[in-house]
């Protein structure tokens, strides 16, 4: 043991020495690699990221103390970009040229040169300490403190040169005492501005007694510009006003502040004169619906007016003014507002009928009113798209998908968008549903969908008071069909959706599904045990404990299990076997024998555990093969306070509640043989489902982010249903969930299930992920995933281990941890995660932690984009 520890220590020491030597490989003599920056403020070290951001130079990034990106760069050779190995090694080059052809030698040169360039491009060059940039950093730090009220600040630096061409830089700051604002006076010449300012003075960003901060004055300038321009002052701009600070008054570091806003300067010819700012109104709104550079000088041929908004077209008007007017927030006879201009652009873009660069110009009239001119350039009415994809999954190892889509804009002259798409897949399945495995593409999946998006609420009565047009409401109608041949249970489904979406604020979106009806039909139930082989294996194993009554073997065995059935005599009983004499198990007959025969009661009493296990398999089968109608009504809300794509400090919250079969139960009068209510001859699924998800993002700097996610969902069957339809149930595991388990492998609860697909109706998941940059576009992550699924129904089929029992079930939460790599292609992120089973709730207490924490038991996940 001591010998092993000694070797490990020696190896670590050797690694440290090698790294220390190699990191200065490309540092020229007389120069130094920047190893560390330290900031000392008033004799105390300050490590805030805000101060660090003002430094012009930062050391090469390190991960676990190792500068990986620098090491990769140092593997390259900057001195021989044009003369590459093997030419840099003449002896080897001569030997190689004798053994191989000139063509092979040239190929070796190209490969060597390309690999060297890749190393230099992928890595990061050493950060060489630069005196000029150090001085800029000192000035930036002084400026930062000065702008925050420390007007007597002084900053300096020291360099600490180390052995082996390395240096550490220490920045020392003496801040001095801060300065504060005293009396704030205003000198506003225009009465209109003065009145508006005084009415909103309580919202000012600067106040008496406040420490001076330049940022507060900049925010106050922005506030006043926004305030005045949204109160009808069309000509107001930031350059009009100024803040004067009286630096002569210096009682206890306090200074008076004066806000000066003179009258407006107007130039007429060579003369410049002053006019007071006035509140201006919109007199007229013109909308040019087919504007283009080629037609801008052509005469208007068609026009119309709706709600005092005038619509014009060089050709015939192709848009109904009534509906386009809903997106025009600028209104005649209203006071000019910048916000209405921005909202009009935003709402017109959301129609997706016009080019995004929407131009809105104002003309000033003689009576000082304004005319707003909105120029719209329509997109092409029709568009055709074609996509091709390659797919892979457990059931479908390989597939080629083709999708053809047709888009029609402005279908009914109200900026509606109609889309029709067709898609088909040729797939390879390991064994087809019909047992045919002769051709490579032995399965087919086709589908089609039609959708209509209407940029307004389509409802029997008006909803303007509840959902006004400023919330950009939309109605979405869609119908989709799906058909599978020789895939699994050969499922076909029909889905119809009618939903409404609107945005109540910049951060909050709503979605109300008035109708979401899905009909699922499994056309090949007999193929169940071909698809779910583990269930077949489980039955075979159980059959060793419960001998099968062979007289029940009357249904032909599935074709892919054996090709011929042989009958043999044993103790006067005819046995059905395969060609090797192995006893044949016919799954459905065996299920009927155990659960529904005259021997069932005896089997249950004699083999209670085995009986329960077989019953579980049957209940799972019934859920999966059930043909069911799922009529859902739902409401969802989504909150996201992210300002833009550069903002990495934000949070999101979403909640959704939906109910299936609640309203339709009033129309279901007939029942089937199982006493289940039917609609149009189909059993109706009834359940209530609620989900809540929260995500929080913390950006430590532009290269590293911490993400925390929580999800909880519950689905409760009622009335007509004893279980949730399989497609609406919860599952645990997978590349976007708990990554140490495959999808469907985990749960429910602490049950070590051997079923093919494990589902539940209650789920909790919590994820913590630290993301950071490695080299250029290559990023990495450390993560911890926790969660599980449970059963909260009163089902007698579920085991006690699968049940959720309140706080006692916390011990059933599985924990996985791992590491991942992500490569950013700009248009998508390729993700590879390795998940290790850290805590396994289904194992004995002594083995729950780290029992299978190794690469052999790890789960390797491939995904596109971030998991959350």
Residue 615: pLDDT band with limits 50, 70, 90: confident
Residue 31 vs residues 59, 481, 766: alpha-carbon distances, Å: 14, 69, 49
- Residue 567 burial (10 A CB sphere; 0-12, 13-18, 19+): exposed
CA 87 – CA 95 distance, rounded (Å): 11
In a domain, 868, yes or no: no
Going by DSSP bridges, is the β-strand pair 33-41/166-174 parallel, antiparallel, or unpaired? parallel
Q: Which residues of 411-446 are buried (b: 16+ CB within 10 A; e: fewer)?
A: eeebbbbbbebebebbbbbebbbbbeeeeeebbbbe
User: CA-CA distances (angstroms) from residue 625 to 437, 492, 520, 620?
Assistant: 23, 12, 9, 9
Which neighbouring-strand residues pair with 421? 405, 449
- Mean pLDDT, residues 425-446 taken together: 62
Greater confidence, 571 or 681? 681
CA dihedral 103, 105, 107, 112 (to 10 degrees): -170
**Domain shared by 199 and 240, yes or no:** yes
196 SS3 class: helix
What is the model's pLDDT at position 62?
80
The answer for residues whose C-beta is within 8 angstroms of residue 301's C-beta and 6 or more apart is: 313, 314, 315, 316
| Residues 357 and 216 both lie in one domain | no
Does pLDDT of 232 surpass 90? yes
Based on the fold, state whether residues 258 and 225 are members of the same structural domain: yes
Q: Please report, for the domain that includes residue 239, its CATH number.
A: 3.10.20.310
Same domain, 100 and 126: yes
* Helix, coil or strand: residue 545: coil
**How large is the average pLDDT for residues 463-480?**
91
Q: For 516-531, what is the mean pLDDT?
A: 83
pLDDT (tens digit per residue) in 35-88: 899 999 999 998 888 898 899 898 888 877 778 777 777 777 766 545 455 555
Contact 511, 524 (CB under 8 A): no
**Element housing 513 (H / E):** strand 508-522
How many CA within 13 A on the CB side of residue 539?
27
- pLDDT for position 559: 36
In which residue are the tokens 């698809």 written? 531
Helix axes 214-229, 191-199, angle to 10 degrees: 120
- Residue 143: how many CB atoms within 10 A of its CB? 14
Note whether 586 and 557 are within 8 A (CB).
yes
Q: Supply the pLDDT for residue 250.
A: 64
Residue 80 sits in the same domain as residue 144: yes
E strand or H helix at 144: helix 131-147
For residues 121 and 235, membership in a common domain is answered with no
Least confident of 67-81, 135-149, 352-366, 485-499: 67-81
Average pLDDT over residues 818-839: 92
How far apart, in whole angstroms, are the C-alpha atoms of residue 618 and residue 623?
9
Q: When comparing pLDDT for 306 and 607, which is higher?
A: 306
Residue 397 lies in a domain: no
* Helix/strand/coil for 813: coil
The overall average pLDDT reported for the chain is 84
Q: Do 62 and 196 have their domain in common?
A: no
Of 356, 375, 394, the one marking the end of a domain is: 375
Which whole number is the average pLDDT over 170-177? 94
Q: How sure is the predictor about 231, in pLDDT bands with cuts at 50, 70 and 90? A: very high
| Domain final position from 227, 259, 275 | 275
Of 324, 362, 341, 569, the closest CA to residue 455 belongs to 324
For residues 309-330, average pLDDT: 94
Per-residue pLDDT at 632 = 94
C-alpha count within 13 angstroms, C-beta hemisphere, residue 768: 5
Digit-coded pLDDT (tens) for 536-586:
777 777 765 555 444 333 323 333 333 344 444 444 444 455 556 555 667
Q: What is the pLDDT of residues 757-779, one digit of tens each?
A: 788 899 999 999 999 988 778 89
Looking at 174, 194, 225, the residue that finishes a domain is: 174
Residue 207: what pLDDT? Answer: 94
- pLDDT for res 643: 86
| Percent of the chain predicted with pLDDT > 70 | 83
Greater confidence (89 vs 464) lies with: 464
Instruction: Please state the pTM of the whole predicted model.
Output: 0.78
Indicate whether 23 pLDDT > 50.
Answer: yes
What ranges make up the beta strands (E) of 230-381?
A: 242-246, 254-261, 264-268, 271-275, 282-288, 302-306, 309-313, 359-364, 370-375
Q: Is residue 311 part of a domain?
A: yes
- Going from the C-alpha of 623 to that of each of 428, 481, 629, the distances in angstroms are 26, 21, 13
pLDDT recorded at residue 93: 64
pLDDT at residue 408, as a whole number: 96
pLDDT digits (tens, 9 = 90+) for 101-125: 667 666 766 777 777 777 777 777 8
Within this chain, do residues 204 and 161 fall inside the same structural domain, yes or no?
A: no
Task: Tell me if 846 is assigned to some domain.
Answer: no
Residue 170 forms part of a structural domain: yes
Q: Are residues 49 and 135 in the same domain?
A: yes
Calpha distance 54→143 (Å, rounded): 10
Residue 670 has pLDDT above 70, yes or no: no
Domain carrying residue 22? 2-174
Each residue of 328-341: pLDDT tens digit? 999 999 999 999 99
Higher local confidence (pLDDT), 556 or 475 = 475
- Express each pLDDT in 203-216 by its tens digit: 999 999 999 999 99
User: Which residue has 């997978």 as its token pair?
Assistant: 734
Total number of domains constituting the chain: 4
| Secondary structure (DSSP) of 578-623 | -TTSPBP--HHHHHHHHHHSTTHHHHHHH-HHHHHHHHHHHHHHHH
d(CA 747, CA 295): 66
Q: Report yes or no: 40 and 46 within 8 Å, Cβ to Cβ.
A: yes
One domain for residues 24 and 143: yes
| pLDDT given for residue 562 in this prediction | 33
| Same domain? 199 vs 302 | no
505 is a domain residue: no
pLDDT of residue 560: 36
**Cα-based torsion angle of the residue sequence 36, 41, 47, 52 in order, rounded to the nearest 10 degrees:** -70
pLDDT reading at 478 higher than 60? yes
Determine the distance from the C-alpha atom of residue 729 to the mean position of all C-alpha atoms in its chain, rounded to a whole number.
Answer: 22
393 pLDDT band, cuts 50/70/90, is: low
762 lies in some domain: no
pLDDT of 703 above 60: yes
Closest alpha carbon to 169 in 31, 34, 33 = 34
Run of H or E residues at 122:
helix 102-122
Say how far apart CA 531 and CA 614 lie, in whole Å.
Answer: 17
**How many other C-beta atoms lie within 10 A of the C-beta of residue 338?**
16
Residues 533 and 559 placed together within one structural domain of the fold: yes
Question: Apex CA 92: angle with CA 86 and CA 95, to 5°?
Answer: 120
Q: Tell me, yes or no, whether 863 lies in a domain.
A: no
């Amino acid at each position: 043991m001591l010998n092993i520890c000694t070797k490990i220590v020696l190896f670590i020491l050797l690694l440290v020495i090698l790294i220390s030597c190699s990191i200065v490989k490309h540092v020229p003599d007389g120069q130094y690699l920047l190893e560390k920056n330290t900031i000392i403020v008033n004799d105390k070290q300050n490590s805030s990221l805000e101060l660090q951001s003002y430094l012009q130079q930062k050391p090469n990034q390190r991960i676990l103390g190792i500068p990986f990106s620098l090491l990769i760069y140092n593997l390259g050779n900057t001195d021989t970009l044009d003369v590459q190995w093997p030419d840099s090694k003449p002896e080897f080059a001569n030997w190689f040229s004798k053994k191989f052809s000139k063509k092979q030698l040239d190929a070796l040169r190209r490969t060597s040169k390309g690999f060297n360039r890749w190393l230099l491009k992928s890595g990061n060059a050493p950060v060489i300490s630069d005196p000029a940039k150090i001085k800029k950093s000192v000035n930036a730090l002084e400026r930062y403190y000065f702008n925050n009220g420390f007007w007597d600040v002084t900053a300096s630096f020291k360099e600490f040169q180390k052995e082996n061409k390395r240096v550490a830089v220490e920045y020392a700051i003496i801040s001095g005492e801060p300065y504060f604002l005293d009396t704030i006076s205003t000198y506003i010449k225009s009465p209109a501005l003065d009145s508006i300012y005084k009415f909103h003075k309580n919202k000012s960003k600067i106040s008496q007694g406040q420490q001076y901060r330049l940022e507060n004055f900049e925010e106050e300038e922005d506030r006043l510009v926004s305030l005045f321009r949204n109160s009808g002052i069309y000509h107001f701009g930031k350059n009009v006003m100024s803040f004067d600070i009286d630096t002569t008054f210096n009682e206890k570091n306090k200074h008076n502040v004066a806000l000066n806003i003179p009258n407006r300067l107007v130039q007429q010819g060579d003369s410049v004169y002053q006019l007071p700012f006035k509140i201006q109104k919109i007199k007229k709104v013109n909308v040019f619906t087919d504007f283009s550079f080629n037609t801008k000088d052509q005469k208007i041929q068609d026009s119309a007016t709706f709600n005092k908004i005038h619509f014009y077209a060089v050709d015939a008007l192709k848009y109904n003014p009534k509906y386009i007017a809903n997106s025009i927030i600028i209104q005649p006879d209203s006071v000019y507002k910048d916000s209405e201009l921005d909202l009009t652009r935003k709402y017109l873009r959301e129609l997706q009928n016009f080019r995004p660069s929407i131009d809105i110009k104002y003309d000033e009239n003689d009576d000082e009113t304004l005319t707003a001119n909105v120029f719209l350039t329509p997109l092409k009415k029709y568009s055709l798209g074609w996509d091709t994809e390659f797919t892979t999954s457990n059931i479908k190892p390989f597939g080629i998908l083709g999708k053809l889509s047709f888009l029609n804009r402005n279908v009914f002259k109200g900026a509606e968008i109609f889309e029709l798409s067709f898609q088909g897949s040729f797939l390879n399945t390991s064994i087809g549903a019909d047992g045919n495995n002769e051709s490579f593409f032995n399965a087919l999946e086709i589908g089609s969908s039609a959708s209509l998006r209407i940029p307004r609420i389509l409802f029997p009565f008006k909803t303007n008071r509840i959902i006004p047009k400023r919330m950009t409401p939309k109605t979405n109608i869609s119908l989709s069909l799906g058909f599978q041949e020789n895939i699994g249970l050969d499922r076909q489904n029909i889905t119809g959706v009618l939903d409404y979406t609107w945005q109540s604020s910049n951060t909050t979106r709503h979605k109300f599904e008035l109708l979401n009806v899905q009909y699922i039909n499994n056309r090949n139930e007999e193929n169940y045990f071909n698809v779910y082989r583990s269930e077949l294996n489980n039955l075979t194993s159980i059959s060793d404990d419960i001998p099968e009554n062979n007289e029940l073997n009357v249904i032909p065995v599935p074709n892919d299990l054996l090709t011929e059935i042989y009958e043999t005599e044993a103790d006067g009983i005819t046995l059905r076997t395969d060609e090797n004499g192995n006893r044949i198990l016919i799954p459905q007959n065996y299920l009927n024998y155990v659960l529904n025969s005259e021997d069932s009661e005896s089997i249950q009493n004699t083999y209670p555990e085995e009986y329960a296990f077989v019953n579980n398999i049957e209940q799972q089968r019934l859920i999966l093969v059930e043909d069911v109608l799922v009529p859902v009504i739902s409401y969802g809300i989504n909150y996201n306070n992210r300002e833009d794509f550069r903002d990495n400090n934000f949070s999101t919250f979403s909640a959704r509640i939906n109910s299936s079969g609640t309203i339709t139960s009033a129309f279901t009068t007939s029942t089937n043989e199982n006493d289940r209510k039917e609609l149009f001859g189909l059993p109706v699924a009834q359940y209530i489902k609620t989900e809540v998800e929260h995500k929080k993002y913390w950006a430590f700097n532009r290269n590293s982010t911490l993400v925390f996610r929580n999800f909880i969902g519950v689905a409760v069957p009622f009335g007509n249903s004893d279980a949730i339809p399989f497609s609406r149930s919860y599952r645990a595991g997978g590349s976007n969930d708990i990554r140490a388990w495959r999808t469907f492998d985990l749960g429910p609860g602490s049950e070590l299930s051997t079923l093919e697909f494990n589902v539940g109706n209650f789920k909790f998941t919590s994820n913590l992920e630290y993301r950071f940059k490695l080299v250029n576009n290559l990023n990495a992550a450390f993560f911890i995933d926790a969660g599980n699924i449970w059963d909260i129904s009163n089902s007698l089929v579920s085991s006690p281990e699968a049940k959720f029992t309140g706080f006692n079930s916390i011990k059933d939460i599985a924990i996985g941890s791992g590491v991942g790599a992500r490569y950013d292609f700009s248009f998508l992120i390729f993700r590879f995660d390795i998940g290790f089973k850290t805590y396994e709730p289904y194992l004995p207490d002594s083995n729950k932690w780290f029992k299978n924490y190794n690469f052999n038991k790890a789960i390797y996940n491939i995904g596109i984009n971030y998991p959350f």
